[in-house]
Amino acid sequence: MIDLRATALTKARYNRIAGIFDSLEFLMERRAKIWRKHLWDMIRPGKVLEVGIGTGKNMPFYPEGTEICGIDLSGNMLIQARKRARRDSISVDLREMDVHALDFPDDSFDAAVGTFVFCSVPDPILGMKELARVVKPEGSILLLEHVRLDRPFVGWLMDLINPLVVRMVGANINRRTVENAQRAGLIIESVEDMTGNGLVKLINARPNKQ
């Protein structure tokens, strides 16, 4: 069941910071661009769903031969994404939508992509189940996410300060996203560490349609 209150709070947070979001993540994005390109290089031609498109940071890396539909919970974030798409002449279908309840039929897409999204989704397992529903059986689900570090003291510290981070920017810094993908029933093909300490991972998965 969708937690409507948590979803409304998440939407309000990102509506509030949409205009300054790129500035907030300026330093991290210097590294993230490399990770984003690596992910999109793995996408084959076809129909692709990008969830949590935000301000459109992935747009420069969209591969040729793809038909992209980008969704986001925040209308204000989509305003920024539309500006980027117009500025850079990017063809993308942008829609305001909740990943918990995707307004698409089963097996609509050849692939789904999320980058630094499931740290903010109130119910990440439900959201991933929705991705599995709308992606074709032979399709792929690629998730680039920062995760909780299961190390002494560091993991505890991430748990401790997580409520403050959520209130400030809406993102949980202690999500166990690989485990959540498994709990959602996704078939994990590979997990690639993007950073030496394992903080950022690229999860390559596919739906389990059995």
- Using DSSP bridges, classify how beta strands 200-206 and 135-146 pair: parallel, antiparallel or unpaired: antiparallel
- At 164 the three-state DSSP class reads helix
d(CA 156, CA 207): 32
Q: What local confidence, expressed as pLDDT, does residue 137 receive?
A: 96
pTM: 0.94
Q: Which of 68, 59, 70, 15 is nearest to 33 (CA)?
A: 59
Q: Does domain 4-206 have CATH number 3.40.50.150?
A: yes
What is the structure's pLDDT at 75? 97
Condensed to tens digits (0 to 9), the pLDDT of residues 1-18 reads 888 999 999 999 999 999
The domain ranges of the chain are 4-206
Cβ–Cβ contacts within 10 Å for residue 106, how many?
Answer: 11
With CA atoms as reference, report the closest residue to 79 among 124, 22, 123.
22
Q: Are 146 and 199 in contact (CB under 8 A)?
A: yes
**pLDDT digit string (tens) for 121-175?**
999 999 999 999 999 999 999 999 999 998 888 888 888 888 888 877 778 888 9
